[in-house]
Structures are given as structure tokens and as C-alpha cells.
Amino acid sequence: MADILLVIDIIDKGGAEKVISKLGNVLSKNYDVLITSIKPPTDEGEALLQKYGLCYIDSCLNSFGFLGQIQFTVFLREVIFSRNIKYVISFLERSNVASVIACKTLSSSPKVSCNVRNVLSQQYERVNNFFISYFFRRFIGFIYSMSDHLVVNSYGISHDLSTNYFIDKDKVKVVFNSYDVKTNAINKRRSTINGFEKDIGCFYFGAMGRLEDQKDFISLINTYAFFNKYGLNTKLVIAGDGPLRKKLESLVDDLNLNGKVIFVGYVKPSLEFFNFIDCFVLTSRFEGFPNVLAESIIYCSSSISVDCLSGPREILSGLSCKDYSSQTDSLKDMQFGCLVPMVDVGEMNHELSRAMHIALTRSSIDKSIECLSFLSDKGFNKVWSEALEITI
């Protein structure tokens, strides 16, 4: 017998996995908690389970396909029934759909909470057929409306669900990702990173993430090439790896930016990267709640982000800007950095170039614990207890 079952697509090193593992850890102090996933945990996921002391149930599946979805739903029903689960807490779309169907087709009617971590209309925008898109949105909206609790990690996602997926906005609860906020972390500057040494007197812009289309590093590099024409003593450091690395390196070569744009690979922990650069830049096409941007305003001197859906306007404004009814059309200098409008994929961003100039001359930003309290993990138990209506 177990009280709570945690469900997620896969346990890897992503933000959703970190949150569900941390939540499982605090819940396990008062409840018997199990966790499962559609695909088996990666090595990083195994380390996460061990770190938080969570008991994993293997679904013996390894497919995100339609058949795998059906098999996982059947598996969940069997686990919930046989172990008399009282509460299912699910993260990410495949797991959310399977969890709701499994719970609502059992006579025991365990409660089910769904957690949405991305802007679905952006994530699935490649579905071009109107009827398929409409059916998908109706189906997801119906499934999520059946859940007992619906939790998201940004107001942008909440806006997307109510606007595009026919979900009552009052049903959605917003719980931000939280972090270990330390006042002295920003002062621990580094002079090297992954063997690359810092030039004295040089200003370092930095970007971090998987080298893939979603992050739009092409736009960042093209913008930096324009900015670099001013002859200022700056460099751009890109941390991460992925399928576009060779293409990006070729672009840097074509733009004669060798030595100005540096690829340093995967950096762990990320704090080392933020302590190396002077200004962090985010150019993603879409996000759920960009952890890397949130970490940058805690650990880095300055931050810039495009106004993608969702999270940047909330993070950089310290939650004073939560309205997503209109898009940003010009540079906005906010509490924790500059917010700039989106441009077409791969295009040079003039407003981003302006923001880079501002970063060079910006005075220090107040990053006291009080100012960053909206990101602090000190309130983790309280906000999740309220969102799930469960004692933690």
C-alpha cells in the first residue's frame, strides 16, 4: 500500500524531474511515496532518485508512441488499484493524460494533479492541420479539466491554457520553480571555465542551453556579429551541446567571429558558468519557465531575454509583469534586466543589440534575498501544499 504515486514521462536531468523529485522528497516525510515513468530513468535520473531517496517502480516500457501510451495507462491503473494509491501527482503531457484516464476510470477515484511545464500552443505549433489542431486542443482541455488540480509554473502557461485550451483560468494554480537563493553567490567570480581562460578587462556575454532550434542561438550569434562591429572589448560564451553545434561553429567561422564567440561545452554546475560571465542572454523561441534565466538573475550580474512564451517577463520584472494579453514591441528595462521583442528565427535582433550596450554600462542591480524572495525555495512546501490541497 502507498499513499502517493508520482508520474513523469522520463526521469532525466531536466527542470520537471528536479521539481517532482524534490516534491517527492518532502512528501515522503509524511506519506508513503512511489514514483514511476514511461521510459526508464537515465543515469542522471538514477542519481536524482538516489539523492532524494525515492522508491521507483519500473513500468518495463520504453516508448512514447500511441501503443506505449495505452500500455502505460493500463500499467498505471494496475499500480493505483493494487497499491491502493490515494493521490496521483503527474508531470508532463503524456503522463498527465495517462494519469487522468487511469484515475477517472477506477471506482476508487483517487485524486489526480496534473502539472504543465511548457506553453503547449508553442510546443505543438507544427500541427498545421486545423481540424487535428482543434481536436488536440479540445482533447487536452477536456483531460485537464477532469483533473482535481492543475498546476503550472508560469502565468504565461496559465494564459495559454485558458486562451487556447478552453480551461477555466480559476482552475489553474501557478507555482514557480524555486532555487537556493544566496546573497554571496554573485561575488564568487571565476577566471576559467572548462579550460578556457578569461581575458582581463573583457566583458563576457553568455548563453546556455541545448544547441537546438528552440534556443535560437543563430539569432544570438547574428546579433552579436552586428554588435561586435562597434569594436568593443567583449566576447560571447555559449555553454551546452547538441545537434546544431557544427552548424553554429560554421556560422561563427563565416562571420569571422573565431575567438570572439567561444563554445565551452556542457558546464556543471551551472553556477560556475554564471560566475564566469558578466551578462546572460536568452534567445529561446519558447520556454515553460526558463530555469537558466531565473538562475542568472540570482547568480549573474546582468541578464537579457527575448519576450518568449513564457516566463521571461515574469522573471525579469520580479512578478510585476504577469499580463500576456499583448506582446513586447520594444526594449523594456525591467527590475532584473532587459526584455526585448522576439524576431523571426535566426534573424538579427536590433533591440537585443541595444540591450547589450545597456549591459556594458549598467550599474549594480539590487539582488538581496528580499528582492529575490519570489524565487526562493524557502516557501516550497507552503506553495505546493496550497496548490495540491495536501498537508506537507
The string of pLDDT tens digits covering residues 237-292 is 999 999 999 999 999 999 999 999 999 999 987 888 999 999 999 999 989 899 99
Which bin fits 284, alpha (ψ -120 to 50), beta or left (φ > 0)?
beta
If you average pLDDT over residues 334-338, what whole number do you get? 94
The listed CATH number (3.30.930.10, 3.90.420.10, 3.40.50.2000, 3.40.50.300) that belongs to domain 185-374: 3.40.50.2000
pTM above 0.75, yes or no: yes
Please state, in angstroms and rounded to a whole number, the distance separating the CA atoms of residues 308 and 119.
10
Position 106 confidence tier, pLDDT thresholds 50, 70, 90? very high
The Cα 276–Cα 96 span in angstroms is 39
69-89 average pLDDT score: 96
Mean predicted confidence (pLDDT) in 323-338:
90
Distance between CA atoms of 119 and 51, rounded to whole angstroms?
29
Residue 388 CA neighbour count, 13 Å, CB half: 25
On whether the CB atoms of residues 4 and 33 are closer than 8 A, the answer is yes
pLDDT at 30: 92
Count the neighbouring beta carbons within 10 Å of the beta carbon of residue 367: 19
For the segment 4-30, the average pLDDT, to the nearest whole number, is: 94
Partners of 223 in the beta sheet?
A: none
Q: Which amino acid is at 249?
A: E
Evaluate if residue 350 carries a pLDDT over 90: yes
Q: What is the reported pLDDT for 185?
A: 57
Task: State the pLDDT at residue 183.
Answer: 56
Q: What's the Cα-to-Cα distance from 354 to each of 12, 152, 260, rounded to whole Å?
A: 37, 32, 19
**β-strand pairing of 196-197 with 4-8:** unpaired
Residues of the chain with CATH 3.40.50.2000: 4-178+376-388, 185-374
What separation in angstroms does the CA of 349 have from each of 84, 221, 228, 242, 269?
A: 55, 10, 13, 23, 30
Question: How far is Cα of residue 44 from the mean position of the Cα atoms in its chain?
Answer: 17
4-178+376-388 has which CATH code? 3.40.50.2000
How far lies 162's CA from each of 6, 150, 175, in Å?
25, 12, 16
